[in-house]
Structure 1
Amino acid sequence: MAPNQMAKLLQSGVLLRFDLTVNELLQRIVETARHVIGAQYAALAVLDDEGGIAHFVYAGLSKEDADRIGELPKGRGVLGLIIHEGKVLRLRDVRQHPKAWGFPPHHPIMRSFLGVPIFVNGKPYGRLYMTEKQGGKTFTKRDEELAKLLAAQAGAAIERAMLTERVRQAERLKRLNELLSTLNRLTDEQAILAAILAGVQKALPFAEASLCLYRAADDTFSGCVATPSGRLSQLHERWRRRPIAATRTPFLPCVRERRSVRVNDLVTPRTPFERWLQRKGFRSFIGTPISVDGEVLGLLFVAADYANAFSDDDHAFLSAVAEHAAATLKNARLLTQLQEKERVRGLLLNKVVTAQEEERRRIAHELHDQTGQLLTALLIQLQLLERELRDERRRERVSNLRRLADSIAQNLHHIAWELRPPSLDELGLTAALERMVSDWSERFQIPCDLVLDSEGDLSVSPEIAIGIYRIVQEALTNVAKHAKATRAKVTLQRADRVLRVVVEDNGVGFDPSAILRHPDETKRLGLVGMMERAAMLSGRLTVDSHPKRGTKVVLEVPLTTIPVRDDRQGGVADAPSQQRPVATA
């Protein structure tokens, strides 16, 4: 073996590289073989499980020449001989061999030939070929020995690279799963983008990363998040103020064809963005579209300072992140849209309910102040008429009319009270609930307790007071109509700045989920309306009920403070934490 050949082998560093992927190592092996053996062309055929060619790597032939040749070798002829026999083959002129298959059109003429097998972990892995010894010579015995040594060392290097790649893939998969798990828990768009950037930066610490949002309306990218204090973050600041047109970047395939753009060595920039990258010292980059259902939402971009910085695994990792990021971002935007619709719906519902309450108040006042007064005047006149009449039969008829008018007045008063109880505006929530519970119990002959956790009245805003009142009113109406209960209880509790209202009974119970799913709204027991009122109060309403086990309706309303009005002294004081029965019927 010539000393200069051994020196070339050692200088190539093929056996000392631990940072190459398997594909990168295979390319390095054929380039080293061509350089060390002194051949014009070199190639390596990786075998599949059936002994055919699964992967073919070459050196010495330009991509344009390879494209003109067409399909890669199939393993026939002399190549097939080495594949199947697994022996070293050295020929002066491969064209003269009996197994020679010939060359396809546009294939360069090759005469001298040297092929050696490569074994990995004791099993056939591939075949290393060299053709056209430089200077028109033939391959020598020394070349053969050196090729065998190179093949042996290449086998060890491939085995090490395969193990390293498996470890790297396992680590990359772990990081990908961690990132996806984090994304699955997020619903805020900015938090999602920040998590994606952090995950990519952790997986590719040698690169700078950024995320850009894409606007199809004007075909532009705008800066969103980038590696802190990095060069890309400076660019993003400019893009936030003035988005860049997609045509001024190399990422048109990302938005037009939904495919990634990868540049391994930025030698000749073609767009203003690439020229900026080159001026800032970047040599390689990958841009991956974040798209879902044919819609491009943005771009995941990474760049490094040296050529060929990104492997196929890096590319696959970024594609997986971008795919999941697209779904997460779309879900976050849909959730934001839904929340906005719910917010608008809540505002509209609040306006409707407020208008209803104002109309209730107006009708109640008119019934009380106008119709009620007229009925009172009628009662007085009937009473006077009854006294003046001497005829017993006529006095009895007038007496009946007076009693009927009195009954009408009482019913009218009850209707006005239910429309808008005056005590709710004049005395507060507690007094209104006391009156409601007492009247309800007397009307339906069902004993009902009202229990408070403090002395005095819980002073809340009028909006919260009427909301709580209506929910309790609806819950008690359900008890009277459907529960067949023999007892009920209404409880108001204060805990951790939350007002908790509970309406419970010992009735027959029901299945809340089945009731809420009922197609007839009139059969839903007003639960939807109660829940909507609770939501308007920024609260939550739950119904705990089972057949034959009674029902418990729980309303929780958040309150910053719940002061207590001391009506006897006209002041406000904190309520002691104790329970007392307020009304029992």
Structure 2
Amino acid sequence: MNQDGAGSVTPRLPVLLDAVLNVGTELELRSTLQRIVDTATELAEARYGALGVLDPERGVLTELFTTGVDEETRERIGRLPDGHTGLIGHLVREPRPLLVPDIADDVRSAGLPPGHPPMRSFVGVPIRVHTEVFGNLYLTEKRGPAGAVFSADDLALLRVLASQAGIAIGNARLYETARCREHWIEGAGAVTTALLTGESAADALMTVAERARILADASAGVILQPTPEGGMEIVAASTLDDPAALIGAVIEPGSPVLVQLLGGEPVFIDDSATDPRMTTTVRAYFGPSMMLPLQSGGKLIGTLALPRKPGGTPYTAVDRLLASQFASQAALALVLADSRHDRERLAVFEDRDRIARDLHDLVVQRLFATEMMLESTRRRASAADLDELLGRAVDELDSTIQEVRTTIFALQQPPADAPATFRGRVLRETAGAAALLGFPPSVHFTGAVDALVSEPVDKQLLTALRGALATAHRRAGVTSVRVDINAKVRLPEGRDGVRLTVRDDGTGDDGVRGTTVSWQSAL
């Protein structure tokens, strides 16, 4: 190694020392890598420099940090080198320092792609983090007089810099991994908190998909669940684009990837669009992907898929590990949330059943007995005013009994699910109107409405009911609304029918107080 003279090491020792100190000043990995290539280019007096990050599993370059090449030139060159051919490929296969006076004369060279700047001299050194080759540093075009080439001294300086760069990269990777792990842990905690605060099943799955997409920097977060036919279907999707294109896509039974997914094994894919294991119709939208089982206690809830865009950065081993841990935590949270939801529903059902039983056993029977006593007294009474008074009392008791029975039926409905019966849907409509009216409408049923009123009459009646309730809300001074549904009506043509009657005590635009809306249809 030369010790003095033009191009020797000695005059550049201060520059080397500054370079060694500078490459370790950043903790963010990408900034560290860019600083390394910038510093190396300046130290070796090169016109162009690049640092290629190597995927140790596949032996290809995943990223390329450059200096001396503007954005327009990069776009003109196109995609990254594949890491298999030319001098770059040789350095990947044989990670040892490489010095080439003229690229065109070297038999290992594969030439330059179209649009690439002309380059002649070349020097390359591997960057090792501990014993692993992290990537390679490439410099081309020695500055100076025409025909200048890189010397052994340049190579020696770069080797020292590469050694220090390995330490700086190792520190930056540790920092990045710790920060990434912290984000995943925070994300898992946020998902657990959200799921245990009362979200519905659909919202819970969406929460997991959306949080995982953000943490993994994925193009989409997708939840798949097993189908009765033995396949898997996308039931929830979080994406920056329209998720409707993904919902409902199915992995058909017999797909090679399905065996692993149903068996609870993770699946890692380099390119969804070209991987023969992928058979869904949406695979062309994505590139690298992770498919992670959501299982807890041996129970498979579904699969969390995190695909990136075509040509996206492949997932690293750290990404896969952290995402798998997140999926395990999310699956446990889903199971706990589902159990908590079931317990709460059971408690509500038990309480409602108790209330309904008390109402039936105590209130209804007493009211019915009182009604019978009054009816008996009315029949024995002779005074006209007493007969009228008792008649009103009997009518009021009968009305009260119907309303209590309606309340008992409403208590028997699931608290969160949409009612399946016609009676339940009517009660849901009137309950919704109560928020606007300020009081609950009185609802009365006559006949076996659930058995007699079916499609399409039920939908027509509900539409008429909504319109009548809206009309009542618009009237001034409304303090009461009565809804009567009679399924024992005999229509003029002799057919059985159903009649809806809605009465209110409000004042209309014409000053008339009280209105009645009636609608009927054949059954």
With normalisation by structure 2, the TM-score equals: 0.43
TM-score by length of 1: 0.39
